[in-house]
Amino acid sequence: MNSVSTSNVPFADREALTDALSTCKYLTDSFNTAVREAGCDHLHSDLMTVLTETHQMARQIFHVMQKKGWYPIEQAPADKLQKAQGQIQNMIQEVSQIPLQ
């Protein structure tokens, strides 16, 4: 009986990009935590740089996958988009009114 060892089979492009995007998502979550908990300004700044670069990389991967049809998204209707924008603006306004002490 022949068995195929998947450890020697390279990822196809789609699987490789899916894995890379998942990894970027995990890393950005981890870096977000690290940024929040950074004890000194220099470390915070360095982590913010890495976090931003990781978000940019994830966005690039997403765009490649979307262009190839591997990450389809449904466009939201204009009314739902406007409703969401209004909700976000309300949240921002509420948060900005919270006194910082």
Q: Is residue 69 part of a domain?
A: yes
Q: What is the DSSP letter of 68?
A: T
Q: Is residue 67 part of a domain?
A: yes
pLDDT digit string, tens, across residues 63-73: 999 999 999 88
What's CA 79's distance to the chain center, in Å? 25
Predicted pLDDT of residue 9: 55
Q: Tell me the residue range of the domain where 40 lies.
A: 11-75
CA distance 26 to 55: 11
Predicted pLDDT of residue 1: 46
Q: Is residue 91 part of a domain?
A: no
Q: Is residue 31 part of a domain?
A: yes
* Structural domain count, the chain: 1
pTM: 0.69
What would the DSSP string read from start to end of 2-49? ----GGGSPPPHHHHHHHHHHHHHHHHHHHHHHHHH-SSHHHHHHHHH
Q: Is residue 98 part of a domain?
A: no
Q: Is residue 71 part of a domain?
A: yes
Q: Is residue 44 part of a domain?
A: yes
pLDDT digit string, tens, across residues 35-61: 999 999 999 999 999 999 999 999 999
Q: Is residue 35 part of a domain?
A: yes
